[in-house]
Amino acid sequence: MCVLLSSPSQAEIAADYLQGYARAVLDLQFPGRNIEVAAAHDDGRLVLIDNGCMSDEENDTVETAIVATKRFAQIEWQPSPQCAPETAGLPAEIRPATAVGAAATAPEPASTETALEALPVDELFKPLIADPRQPQFSIKYHRYDTRDDFDAASVSFGDYFGFASGLFGEYGVSQVGLQGAVFAVFNLDSESFDLVNADYWLGIPLSARFGPYSFLTRIYHQSSHLGDEYLIGNPDIARINLSYEDWETLMSYEWKQWRFYGGGGVILNSEPNLDPLHLQAGMEYRRPAAFRDWQFVGAVDLQADQEQDWQGSGSYQAGFAIDGPAGREVRFMLEHYRGFSPNGQFYNERLRYTGLGVYFDL
């Protein structure tokens, strides 16, 4: 009985989770702003204390970012003892010295230093929605237009696991982790749904975030394998033992409902010998509550490789997404691809497909 009485209630657990979630959003998007999370309620109310004495316009920016997560619908601000009530909403340059941190009249702001955190949950560099080789869980139906037209089922099994996260002073956060995935394509027109190609992918990413900017650099390995039944049914296919290690770097910028990213990489080692350089760019758009709890999602991913003489490939997606209280998301997307095949063994063949995909971001 004593154990039961001393155990936290479900409401307390939910409040602690929401408080921690709000704290993580503030640390990621507004590092160094010195905003305290006073309380979080399961009815959508979040209470904040502005110990940085920001202007009303700056507070509005914070509110917009937090409401966009759809975890909170109402933001309440409590007065801070570090800011005089009559000057709390004024810009710093016109605030009296006695109201903005003079040592004799106001306590020093709390330090924004954060210790190294083991096994973080959040991924600093958000997954790229339209990238055909994004490590994630997905099930897709495509109509392939290539050397042989056929109906294809594409599946991927992948995820990100964070090892450690730390803080770059007051300027942002960094994280190191592990990514792994398997990408497989099946021929639905064959008698036994033959496995056509499977790519195995493993990478070590280092990511960082500075407000709306996020960065990712990683070294990864990919190896590609044709299915046995596909080889038996297509004896004229020349098997390629495709395997390579690549180092790439990407930068992302988020502005309101938009996200823009770009970068490139270099192949460090490959079999067969591939031209090393490649580029990638894209943009994403999300419109919250486009249809009740569903948000509209659109994305474009463009890639070009030196191996294909810089002839570009494009991946295009549009659809709707819904997420749960723990930040997990399910997306239902219409998609179209045109360019060189992302399926390893066929990297030098042109491919066009159109279809439907269901994605699970854990």
Higher pLDDT, 28 or 157: 157
CATH of domain 117-361: 2.40.230.10
| Rounded CA separation 60/90 (Å) | 13
| Rounded CA separation 330/153 (Å) | 18
pLDDT at 8: 52
pLDDT at 28: 67
Higher pLDDT, 29 or 65: 65
Beta strands in 272-311 (DSSP E): 277-291, 294-305
CATH topology identical between 2-99 and 117-361? no
Which DSSP string do the residues of 139-168 spell out, in sequence order?
Answer: EEEEEEESSS-EEEEEEEEEEEEEEEEEEE
**Mean of the pLDDT values across residues 145-151?**
90
pTM summary value: 0.72
Digit-coded pLDDT (tens) for 86-96? 444 445 444 44
DSSP reduced 3-state for 359: strand
| Rounded CA separation 65/41 (Å) | 18
Mean pLDDT of the chain: 84
Q: Where are the domains of the chain?
A: 2-99, 117-361
Closest CA to 284 of 126, 67, 129: 129
Digit-coded pLDDT (tens) for 10-19? 555 456 667 7
**Mean of the pLDDT values across residues 26-54?**
78
Confidence of residue 235 (pLDDT cuts 50, 70, 90): confident
Confidence of residue 3 (pLDDT cuts 50, 70, 90): very low
Percent of the chain surpassing pLDDT 90: 53
Higher pLDDT, 35 or 270: 270
CATH of 2-99, one of 3.40.50, 1.10.10, 3.30.300, 1.10.287: 3.30.300
